Every structure is written in structure tokens, then in C-alpha cells.
Structure 1
Amino acid sequence: MNLVTFQKRMSKNLLFLISVFFLFNGLISCQFYRNTASRYNAYFLANERFDEVYKNTYIQQKSDFNNVLVVLPPIDSVSMGAFKGELDYVVEKASLPIQRHPESDWTDDSYLLIGKARLHQADYRNAINSFKYLNGNSNELDVRHASLIWLMRSFIESGNLDQASFTMDYISKEGDKFSEENIRDFYLVSAHYYRTISDFDKTAAYLELALPYTKNKTQKARYHFILGQIYQNKAKQGIDDKTINIKKNDRKAYQNYQASIKAHPEYEMVFNAQLNASQVAGTSAEDVKQAQKYFEKLLNDQKNEEYKDRIYYEMAGFAQKRGKTEEAINLLQESLNQPSTNSAQRAYTYVRMGELYYAQSEYAKANSYYDSALAISSEEMRNYDEIAARGEILNQFFEQYDVLQKADTKINLSKMSQEELVKYFEKQIAEEKAQIDKEVAAAEKAAKNGNLVNQGTTNPFASTANTAQTWYFYNEQAVRQGKNTFVRVWKNRPLEDNWRRSNKINSTIDNTANPTEMMADSKMEQENLYATVAGVEERLKSIPTTKEEITLLEQEIEVALFELGKVYHYQLEENENARATFERFIKDFPTNNNIPEALFLLRKICLENKTLEKCDVASYENTLQTKYPASAFAKLISDPNYLEESAVNDTIVTTLYKESYELYSEKKYQQAIEKLEKIQNEYPQNSYNAKIELLRIMSASYIESLPVYVEKLNTFVTKYEGSKEQEYAKKLLEVADKKLKENPVQTNPDDTEKNIGG
């Protein structure tokens, strides 16, 4: 190879290398441009706007400090409605890198940001699809991990808790190393999940893990506050659960409340942390003295003027912790007397009042407070289901108790002389008027303080979708109660000025009304207050005077006693009262069909409560087996498997009964009778006996004479008193009796309408 050839070849190679170099640099420059344009233009703007929205969700969320706070702000269409414009902007801007620079390194980050924005728009389906797409297609480990964490959050917010749990398990098993940001977020979303399902032990565990990775002071203060609440509640559980270390949990609660205060959150959280910290104090004389001094300091601080209802509520809790029930009730009443628009706090105060009276077995008072609490709260209230359930139990109790008390009173009053009755009612009227005076004075004080119970104040538990609902006149219940109260005090009056005065002409600005007229007006207003108080004559009319009226009252007592006994036993677990109620029921109404059940329950109460005095199990068993041997309750004593056997028999009997009824419908009466007799002989222990016997009587009526049919119906009506079949048999008997009178020699009632199928 000569020199010229070599030089030419080297020139070509050099040219090629230079071309490759410039091409490579060009490609790098393009990628650099794409990354720069994606990150610092559209993505940067979208991310900044989303961070602002995310921060505001923390600031604007409403906190119910009587309940364990939620870990992360709730995401739904109502709470996120205010951020619609900002979130639309985030989606629009974050979409640009994907559309214009799909090869940039920030495409996956843009998809992640769009998913977050969709979630905060409550567009759960599209948010979930975005996070699933990233998990399956992203090559960036941090983005993939973040997408799984946000996927878990999406499942929680959309109520798909099973999928959230599955995703949490999946993330936990990921072998790859997580970034500190993703570690923090995973712990927080896990804590959020367990708070959502009210597993507070695991909520606390994950919050403890998240705190070392949390830098934001506001969030740190909130997480410490939540931990304080959880440990404080745990200590309270230790009163009943001896395995829980009360002092240890109180100490941890105090430490977390102090840590929350040191993080300098908003004043409301500082106030509640201070208040709760005083609650976890000990009960020694020195601890009590210090706590009371601290409560007094809080009450005297002008900044706490709007929180006085809450302070008195917590003071009541501290009194309750020390076993001072009467003091707690007085402090709760003081809480209710405070001028406040916080209806959530009022609801919690009502509940605690109800709990205290419930514990003292003062169920009538407890019922009133539970009703008041439920009237102004929503399902977001702490332990709402338990409160509603107890309220329902108390309603059941009070319904029967009220009937029993009124009927007993009327019967007792019917035994008094006219003179005694007049004196009794005069005293009763004076007491009722005194109570009205007391209520009016309290109402005037509350009105002066601007503290009307149903004045339409904002309920933080309620949806904020329609703010007009918080106005008094959009609240139908509040308006209705207001009208009733007005009418009770002032009666019906025309809509006009100066309606309170009897003589409007003299009601002028110069206040020159005649003193005599003013006294008359005052007297009339006083009479209006007592307008609903019935007079002696009206009350005398309510006293039964005939045997029929007393019989009706006794029937009411009969039903109420049995039902009240069951409420005492099953719902209230007041077995001493249950026993006394059932004993009176059996003594006063020995022929009632429910006597066997009452005896069985008395036996059950005695067996389950060995401490009850004079509880004669053998006597109850003997009475059941000798007087009511055919009852299911008697059979349960001799054969504990009776119910199981009866259930099996019922399955067979159901089929046989349907076959018998089909034969009856086809007018194959003799075959129907034979099948029904077979059922009665082979399966005596079943719940269809009344139906079987009535169908047998009806089938035989087409074969036997009308008088025999009437006689059998009469026997049936007596035997199955109180059953549905008895009611139908009475109708058949009425028709048959009429036909028998019209034609005494009629041989059978084949034209009598009958149908008891099913």
C-alpha cells in the first residue's frame, strides 16, 4: 500500500469518526433538551401546583378532637371540590411531557403526578389505572414503588379495603430497596389504612415507624397527637382489661402530646394537646391539685373562650376517672351551658351524660341524652353505631316502661277518693309549673349566651356540600321543634308586631304604659307559659272509672311486663330487674301464653347468676314440666337437643305440609287428612302444629257435619290463643256460626271460604 492510498483511507476513517462523534453529541443534546423541557417547564409547574393543593388538604381538613384523628386527609368529591381548578391545571400541564417528549426521563413521573391529581379529584378508576400502568411498565424503581403506595391509597379512599390490604402485603414483600420518601409514605398510608378500619394498635405501630422519616413539622405534630390519643384510649381500656399497663400508656400519651406541642402546630391542636395531657395525669392528691390548677388556667385564658365547653367536658372526664360521678355530671352540665356553635362537642357531652346515667341504671334520663346526641350527630361520630344501638335499646326499654308506669299509676289512682285525687293533682300541677319556670330560666340564659341547641349551627360531622343546610330555617327538625316550643309557651298568635303584649296600642317607644296594664300583661304571659299544663278537671277525666277501662289498662300492663322483662335480660343485662319483672308477670297474669317462656328465662337467669338470692331453679323447672309439658321450653329442659331435632323435623314437615295442602286444594280431603295425621304422629316436635291442625279441621269439614266443625274450631281458638292461625280460625268460625244459625240442620260447611295456604 503506497503512501497516497494510506492517506486517503485514513482521511475517510477520520471523517467517519468525526461524523459519529457529532451525531452522538447531537443525540445527547436532544435527550438533554427533552429532559430539561419536561422537568423544568410543564412538570415543574404541575408538581408545584399539586404540592400546594396537597398542603392545603392538610390545612383545610376539619378535625374532631373527641375522636382519634385521621392520619391523612380524606379524599372525596365534596372535600376536594374547592381544588377542582388547580387539579385540572395539574393534569393539563403534566400531560404535556407525555405528549411532546415521550422519550424523556420524566414521562413516568408525569404519569404518577396525573394519577395523584386524578385521585384527589375522586376519579378513582382513572387514578387506579394510572398507578397500575406505572407498576407494570415503569423502569424506574422509585416511581414503581411510589405508584404501588398511591395505588394502595386509592383503594382506601374508594372503600376497596380488601384490595388495599392485598397491595400493602405485596409492597411489604418487595425485595428492592425503597427510598426514604417512599418508606415514609408507605408507613403513613399503612397507618391510614389501619386507622380507617379502627385497628388503633397497628395505626400506632406504623406511625411510630413513619415519624423518623417525617420532616414537616405540621404533619409531625399531628402524628404525635394521634399517638397521644391512641395511648390515652389504651390506658382507659386498662380499667376493664387488667393485661394493659395503664401507667405506661398514660406516660406514652403524655410524651406524645408534649412532642406535638413542641412542633408548634395551629392553636387548636396545641390547646387540645395541653387539655389531653392534663387528662393523663395520675389520681394522687398532688396530681389532682396540679390538674385542677391547670384546668383553671385554661378557663381563665381569653384565647380559650370558644373552647370552654370542651374544657368542662375534659374536666368531667378527669372527675369520672377519679370516680366522682356527681361532680362529672355537674361539669358536663356546665359544658352544655356554655355559648358555643360546636354541635359536635355538644353531641359528645350528651353521650357522656347518657353513659353516666346508664351506668347508674337511670334509663329514662339516659334515654333523653342519647336521643339528644343522635338528633345532632351523624355517622362520622366516634362509636356512632354503638351509640345508636344503645339509643335503640333505651327506646325499647322506655316504650314498655312508660306504658307500664302510666297504666299502673292510673289503676292506683282509680282506687283513691275524689278528695285524695284533687290533692294529688294539685300537687302534681304545682311541680310541673315549677319545672317549666326552671326550663324557661335556663332557655333565657342560653338565649342570652347565644347557645340554642337547635339554632342551626354548623355540624362538623355533616356534609358541606350544601352550606345552606346549616341555616336554621333550612333545618326542618329545628324549625319544627322551634314552632312546638313557641306554641307551648305562647299558644297560636297572628304574625304581627308586639305580639308578646296583650294591648299593643299602648306599646310605644316612650315606655309610658300603665303599671296596671303591665302587671296584667305579665300575668297573661305567665298563664301562656302554663297553657299546656292540664287542669285538675282534665286530669280527673283520664282516671278509669269502669271495669272495662281497667281491663284495657291491665292488658297493656300484661304485654309491657313480658317485653320489659326481655329487655332487662337480653339488652340491659339487668337480671335482678328481669327476674322481678317476670315474677310479677307470672303472678298477675297466670293464664298468658308466654308463661312457659317467662319460666324458662327465670331458670336461665338463675343458672347464669349464682349470686342472686332466692333463685329456685328446681321450682321453675317443675312448674314448666308439670303445667306446660307440651311447650317447647319444657322439652328443652329434658332434651337439650330439642331445638336441633325440631329444626330437622321442620324441614321434613314443611314438605309434607305443602303436599297436604295441595291435596286439600285438589279436594282430596280424605287423603289430606291421612297425610296430616301422619305428620302429627311421626313429627310431633315441629313449629307447624297450629297450621297442620287447622288444615285438618278444614279438610274434615267437607266430610263431617257443620256442628262438629264449629265445635272443633272453638277448641282450636282456645288452644292456640295469640297465634296467626287463631285469627283466621275466628273468621272461619264467624262464617260457620252464621250459617249454622241460618240452617241448623246443615250437614257440612262446604261453601265456607277457606284458604290458609303457605
Structure 2
Amino acid sequence: MALRAFFFIALVWILLAGCSSEQTTVTSNVYHNLTAHYNGYYYAREKIREVENIIQQSLDDDHNQILRLYPKLDTVLAKTYSKDTEEAIKMASLSIQRHPNSKWVDDNYIMVGLARMYDCDFVNAVQTFKYVNTKSKDINTRHLGLLNLIRAFTENEEYQKAEEAFLFLEKEPLNKQNAKKLYMEKAYYYQVRNDYNNMVRNLTLADSLLGKKDQKGRIYFIIGQVYQQLGFGSEAYNYYRKSIATNPAYEIDFYARLNMAQVARLDDKRDVKTVRKQFDKMLTDAKNQEFRDKVYYELAQFELKQGNVPEAIANYTLSAHAGNNKRIQGSAYLRLGQIHFDSLKKYSLAKNYYDSAVSALPPDFEDLETIKKRQEVLGEFAKYTETIAWQDSLLLMASMDSLTLRAQLDSAVASRKKIEEGGKKKRRRTQGTSNSNQSNPFFLEDSNTTPDWYFGNLSAVGAGQSEFKRIWGNIALEDNWRRSNKTSILRQAEEQIAVAQEEAEQGEIKGNTKGTDEVDKIFSQLPLASDQKEKALAKIEDAYFNLGD
């Protein structure tokens, strides 16, 4: 018994002796390493991981833009997790104080530095990481301190210092983890600097070093985005495919498939058909319901590249009405405005689309100020072109036989009203179920469109074109309205009436109303007398003068 008591007392004495922070014996080192790791560093690291999860969840990804590699550190967000960072600093600091000879001291300093960086306390974070690089005896830990220093410098916009740090590390023998982190930190640095060539170069270097926990699918998707923006479609396609192969988050998978269709090589008509089938498949997939606006937008982009302007217009219109994403809706309206301005030269419609685009686009949209300036210019431009078109058409109609003109106007108005009534009936049917609404967004209404919007109804457009061809045949637009030839005048008159009808459907023509007296109102505006014709010509001349000013 006495011997057992002796050994027990000796063991207790050894353990107590090992508890001293000044001891460097084997027993002391084991004790301090264990307690420093599990009582201090472990809890500090867990708190830092919680903070990193909060920061990661703050990412508001816009898959139409190149995704950020890391979230931007923000002082407002930092306030939401300040207690966690305080706790991390406290636990790591206590571990350092109580176990100064343990091998976890440098790791605890790393935790303190990260907590300060996530708090946006960059000055103290930098000092902490520099201390680790200076004092640590472990080369890998020193390298880790410098790697975190790069991130702190980048976040604090001290780009020259960040570059100096990674240029130094490029010459150092790094282990696999630190080499991967160096490539990622450099890629983030170049992303912040909008240097996408160097960004993608470093990401591809990191590729072979990525592990399962590195969100490989997201990183591959970002590489694909950068390659696509730089114009390397084949490389982008390969990385989108690699992203899908990792079974990433649903949105990444969806947008990777969508972007693959954008960059696919189209060597012949079969390839074009294949891509269209891919779009159709995405539109019919119930899982993609909330992304239909994006699918329609990209389908429109695809059709525009193929030179199919009518199909592009139809799909941009569907995109604008298929969802609630204001960025996509505004982008669709913007593209419609650009097409009508640059390609179709329909300035009144272009102006309306630009109005809708500016109303929908978020404040941070790229080149929004330039878009607003074009909107303002179009407002004046459209006003004068409308004046020319309307006065020109009135002069042309005034030269026609009144009975023939009335018959043709009555026919045109009746045809349009028939189409409108058909559209209203169809809307009433489709409003009964949400599925019908989703399958035909042409008839959805919002604050930016009127319920009877002509170009929102493909059947209306088709019927209008058929009616026009039935009466006038296939004719080309011409400007020689003063030509004495009666047939040419009739043709040009109908062209101007068609233009007036288009604009009337958009609510752009003064004095135009719906009802049985519409034709009478047009007749009442005809410049039949000489002084009326002179006034109409003066308005046209004045409008041309203002356009050229």
C-alpha cells in the first residue's frame, strides 16, 4: 500500500510540475501542447470557421457576372459576428499566455490575425501576420502568415504591398496547401484589379491542387466564366463541363449548362439544332421554373448571333415577362431597345424599351449612366421622327381618294380590333391558372407594359403582317412620298398607316383613340386645304432641322 501511495504522489507531482508554463521537459511539452490545442486553438478555430461561414453566406451571386472568389469584407457585416471574433481572439490569446512554449502558439496568432482581418481591423491584422512571419520557427507557418498578409493587403487596397508579398512567396518552397492558397490569393488579387488574364492563369494553376472541400465546381465555373469573357469559348466549354461533373450546387449546375450552350461550337446546322434542343429542354424542366427568364434571355442572345432578329425579339420579350429578376428584365428591355434603335431604326419603340430598361435596371448595373443618356437623346429623337412620320402620312392620305382611303382604314382598324379581342379572350383564359401564365408570358402584365401591347402578342403580329400583305403585297419602304404615281402613293400611305398603327399600339400617337370614331378622327386631321398642307410641311421641316441640330 505504501509503495502504491508513493507512486501516486510521484505521478501527481510530475503532472503538477508539467503544468508550469516555464517548464520545457517532455512531460511539460506534452501537457502544454495538448491543452493549447484542445483548450485554446481548437475553440478559436471553430469560432473563425463560424465567422467564415457567415461571410460566405453573405455572397449575393449574380451568375450573369463573373462570380467573386471571396466575399468582400464589410464593416457592416462584421458587426453581426463581432462577438464570435472577440471570442476567437480571447481563446487564442489565453492559449498563448498560458502555454507560451507549446507548438500551437504560432497557429493561435494566425487565428488572432484572421479574427482582426474579418473585423476589418486591417492594421492590427497586418501586424499579427508579420509577427508570425518573423517569429515562427516553422517555415510552413511563416508562409501561411504571408499568405494571409496578401489577403489583408488586398482587402485594404494596399495592392503594391500585396504584390511584393506574393512575389517573395513565388521564390519560396511551398507545401501543397500553401501553394494552392498562393494561387487562389493571387487570383483574387487579380480579380479585384480586373486583370482577368492573370486571374484565370492562377486559377488553372490551382486546379490540380484543389480538394473535395475547395468548392471545385464553383471554381471551375468561375474559370469558365473568365475564359468566356476573354473569348476562349473552347476552354470555357471544357471548364463548364468540369464544373457540372463535380455535381455542384443547383444554380452553378444550371448556369454552367446555360453557358455551355452559349460557347458551344456551331460548325453546321445540326449543331444549331442541338443547342436549340438544349434550350427547349431547360425550358420544359420544372426545376428551372424560376430561371425561365434567364433561359429566354440566353436563347434570344443565341438567336441574335445566328442573325434571327424576329426570334431574338420574341425571346427577349418572353424574358422580360417570365420572372421577377429586375436585372434580367432590364437587360432584356435594353437589348430590345438596342435592336430597335441600331438595326430596325424604329426610334419610338426603341425609346419605349429604353424607358422600361432604365426603370428596371438596378443602380449598380454596368454603364447605367450611358444608358440613361441614350434614353434622354432618344426622347427628343423619337419626338421629331414621330412628327415627320405622322405629318408625312397625313399628307399622303390627304392625296388619296376619300372613299378608297376610308375603306382601307376601316378594314385596318377592324382587323386590329379583331386581333385585340382575340388577345383579351386568350388572356382571360390564361389568367385562370398559373401554368398557363407561365407558358405564355406574352400576356402577363406589369407596370411597364400595357395590357394590349401589340408586340407582346405573336398572333397579333402575324395576323397584322398577313393583313398588310393581303392588301398591299410585299413592298419596300421608300422616302419619295411626293411621287405623282398613284400606286406608289397608296403603298407609301399604307406604310405610314402601318407605322402609325404600331405607334398607336404603344400609346405614342397624339389624338389616337380606340372606338368607332377612330377613322373619323384621322380624317379630321388630314391637311386638305393649302394652308393646312403648308403647316404640315413646316412641321416636317422643323423636325428635320431639330434632328440635324
TM-score if structure 1 supplies the norm length?
Answer: 0.50
Aligned to 2:334: 351
Tell me if 1:278 matches 2:261: yes
Aligned to 1:189: 185
Cα gap change, 1:104 to 1:372, in 2 (>3 Å): farther
- Select 1:27's aligned residue among 24, 28, 31: 24
Tell me if 1:405 matches 2:405: no
Tell me if 1:171 matches 2:166: yes
Once residues 339 and 538 of structure 2 are traced to their aligned partners in structure 1, the CA distance between those partners, rounded to angstroms, is 36
Checking the alignment, whether the CA contact within 8 Å between 2:41 and 2:95 is kept in structure 1 is yes
Equivalent residue runs for 1:485-496 within 5 Å: none
Checking the alignment, whether the CA contact within 8 Å between 1:337 and 1:446 is kept in structure 2 is no
State the one-letter code of the partner of 1:296: D
- Select 1:65's aligned residue among 54, 63, 66: 63
Tell me if 1:198 matches 2:185: no
1:49-87 per-residue CA deviation (whole Å, 9 max, x = no partner) reads: 322442454456332222222222332245556544433
Cα gap change, 1:562 to 1:58, in 2 (>3 Å): same
Checking the alignment, whether the CA contact within 8 Å between 1:50 and 1:90 is kept in structure 2 is yes
Checking the alignment, whether the CA contact within 8 Å between 2:384 and 2:547 is kept in structure 1 is no
Cα gap change, 1:260 to 1:33, in 2 (>3 Å): same
Equivalent residue runs for 1:607-622 within 5 Å: none
1:405-460 per-residue CA deviation (whole Å, 9 max, x = no partner) reads: 3377459859987998x9799999989988987997898768964989xxxxxxxx
- Select 2:324's aligned residue among 341, 350, 353: 341
Once residues 386 and 219 of structure 2 are traced to their aligned partners in structure 1, the CA distance between those partners, rounded to angstroms, is 52
Checking the alignment, whether the CA contact within 8 Å between 1:97 and 1:104 is kept in structure 2 is no
State the one-letter code of the partner of 1:307: F
Aligned to 1:120: 118
1:267, distance to aligned residue in structure 2 (A): 1.6
Checking the alignment, whether the CA contact within 8 Å between 1:98 and 1:107 is kept in structure 2 is yes
Aligned to 1:562: 548
1:708-753 per-residue CA deviation (whole Å, 9 max, x = no partner) reads: xxxxxxxxxxxxxxxxxxxxxxxxxxxxxxxxxxxxxxxxxxxxxx
Checking the alignment, whether the CA contact within 8 Å between 2:387 and 2:543 is kept in structure 1 is no
SS at match of 1:173: helix
Checking the alignment, whether the CA contact within 8 Å between 1:76 and 1:122 is kept in structure 2 is yes
SS at match of 1:27: coil
Aligned to 1:42: 40
Question: Which segments of 5 or more consecutive residues in structure 2 lack a partner in the other structure?
Answer: 1-17, 439-445, 452-510
Once residues 53 and 194 of structure 1 are traced to their aligned partners in structure 2, the CA distance between those partners, rounded to angstroms, is 25
SS at match of 2:208: helix
1:379, distance to aligned residue in structure 2 (A): 4.8
Checking the alignment, whether the CA contact within 8 Å between 2:394 and 2:526 is kept in structure 1 is no
Cα gap change, 1:400 to 1:250, in 2 (>3 Å): closer
Once residues 549 and 53 of structure 1 are traced to their aligned partners in structure 2, the CA distance between those partners, rounded to angstroms, is 73
1:264, distance to aligned residue in structure 2 (A): 1.5
Cα gap change, 1:51 to 1:263, in 2 (>3 Å): same
Equivalent residue runs for 1:239-278 within 5 Å: 249-278=232-261
1:33, distance to aligned residue in structure 2 (A): 3.7
Checking the alignment, whether the CA contact within 8 Å between 1:299 and 1:311 is kept in structure 2 is yes
1:153, distance to aligned residue in structure 2 (A): 2.2
Aligned to 2:301: 317
1:207, distance to aligned residue in structure 2 (A): 0.5
Aligned to 1:229: 225
Cα gap change, 1:446 to 1:88, in 2 (>3 Å): farther
Query: What percent identity do the matched residue pairs reach?
Result: 28
1:125, distance to aligned residue in structure 2 (A): 4.4
State the one-letter code of the partner of 1:27: T
1:320-366 per-residue CA deviation (whole Å, 9 max, x = no partner) reads: 3333222222222233343x333333233333334433441444434
Structure showing greater Rg: 1
Checking the alignment, whether the CA contact within 8 Å between 2:327 and 2:361 is kept in structure 1 is yes
SS at match of 1:213: coil
1:106, distance to aligned residue in structure 2 (A): 3.1
Tell me if 1:220 matches 2:216: yes
Structure with the larger RCO, 1 or 2 (CA within 8 Å, 6+ apart): 2
Q: Which moved more, 1:540-549 or 1:267-276?
A: 540-549
Once residues 193 and 21 of structure 2 are traced to their aligned partners in structure 1, the CA distance between those partners, rounded to angstroms, is 56
Aligned to 2:146: 148
1:551, distance to aligned residue in structure 2 (A): 11
1:205, distance to aligned residue in structure 2 (A): 0.5
Aligned to 2:465: none
Tell me if 1:291 matches 2:275: yes
Once residues 92 and 376 of structure 1 are traced to their aligned partners in structure 2, the CA distance between those partners, rounded to angstroms, is 48
Cα gap change, 1:555 to 1:205, in 2 (>3 Å): same
Checking the alignment, whether the CA contact within 8 Å between 1:217 and 1:264 is kept in structure 2 is no
State the one-letter code of the partner of 1:212: S
Checking the alignment, whether the CA contact within 8 Å between 2:247 and 2:253 is kept in structure 1 is yes
Question: Which segments of 5 or more consecutive residues in structure 1 lack a partner in the other structure?
Answer: 1-21, 236-248, 453-477, 487-531, 564-758
Once residues 312 and 373 of structure 2 are traced to their aligned partners in structure 1, the CA distance between those partners, rounded to angstroms, is 25
Once residues 85 and 329 of structure 1 are traced to their aligned partners in structure 2, the CA distance between those partners, rounded to angstroms, is 53
Checking the alignment, whether the CA contact within 8 Å between 1:353 and 1:366 is kept in structure 2 is yes
Once residues 286 and 131 of structure 1 are traced to their aligned partners in structure 2, the CA distance between those partners, rounded to angstroms, is 58
Checking the alignment, whether the CA contact within 8 Å between 1:112 and 1:147 is kept in structure 2 is yes
Q: Which moved more, 1:443-452 or 1:191-200?
A: 443-452
- Select 1:372's aligned residue among 341, 356, 360: 356
Aligned residues: 450
1:206, distance to aligned residue in structure 2 (A): 0.8
Once residues 432 and 161 of structure 2 are traced to their aligned partners in structure 1, the CA distance between those partners, rounded to angstroms, is 54
Once residues 121 and 67 of structure 2 are traced to their aligned partners in structure 1, the CA distance between those partners, rounded to angstroms, is 25
SS at match of 1:402: helix
1:190-245 per-residue CA deviation (whole Å, 9 max, x = no partner) reads: 2122223332222211100111221135521111111222223333xxxxxxxxxx
1:377-401 per-residue CA deviation (whole Å, 9 max, x = no partner) reads: 33544xx12x541442243133234
State the one-letter code of the partner of 2:111: L
Cα gap change, 1:190 to 1:230, in 2 (>3 Å): same
Once residues 366 and 67 of structure 1 are traced to their aligned partners in structure 2, the CA distance between those partners, rounded to angstroms, is 25
Once residues 281 and 51 of structure 2 are traced to their aligned partners in structure 1, the CA distance between those partners, rounded to angstroms, is 38
Aligned to 2:109: 111
- Select 1:396's aligned residue among 352, 377, 399: 377
Aligned to 2:52: 54
Once residues 274 and 393 of structure 2 are traced to their aligned partners in structure 1, the CA distance between those partners, rounded to angstroms, is 55
Aligned to 2:72: 74
Cα gap change, 1:250 to 1:554, in 2 (>3 Å): closer
Checking the alignment, whether the CA contact within 8 Å between 2:321 and 2:329 is kept in structure 1 is no
Cα gap change, 1:32 to 1:358, in 2 (>3 Å): farther
Once residues 80 and 434 of structure 1 are traced to their aligned partners in structure 2, the CA distance between those partners, rounded to angstroms, is 61
Cα gap change, 1:315 to 1:43, in 2 (>3 Å): same
State the one-letter code of the partner of 2:381: Q
1:260, distance to aligned residue in structure 2 (A): 0.9
Checking the alignment, whether the CA contact within 8 Å between 2:32 and 2:99 is kept in structure 1 is yes
SS at match of 2:215: helix
Checking the alignment, whether the CA contact within 8 Å between 1:367 and 1:391 is kept in structure 2 is no
Cα gap change, 1:263 to 1:139, in 2 (>3 Å): same
Once residues 267 and 416 of structure 1 are traced to their aligned partners in structure 2, the CA distance between those partners, rounded to angstroms, is 59
Once residues 435 and 124 of structure 1 are traced to their aligned partners in structure 2, the CA distance between those partners, rounded to angstroms, is 66
Aligned to 1:157: 155
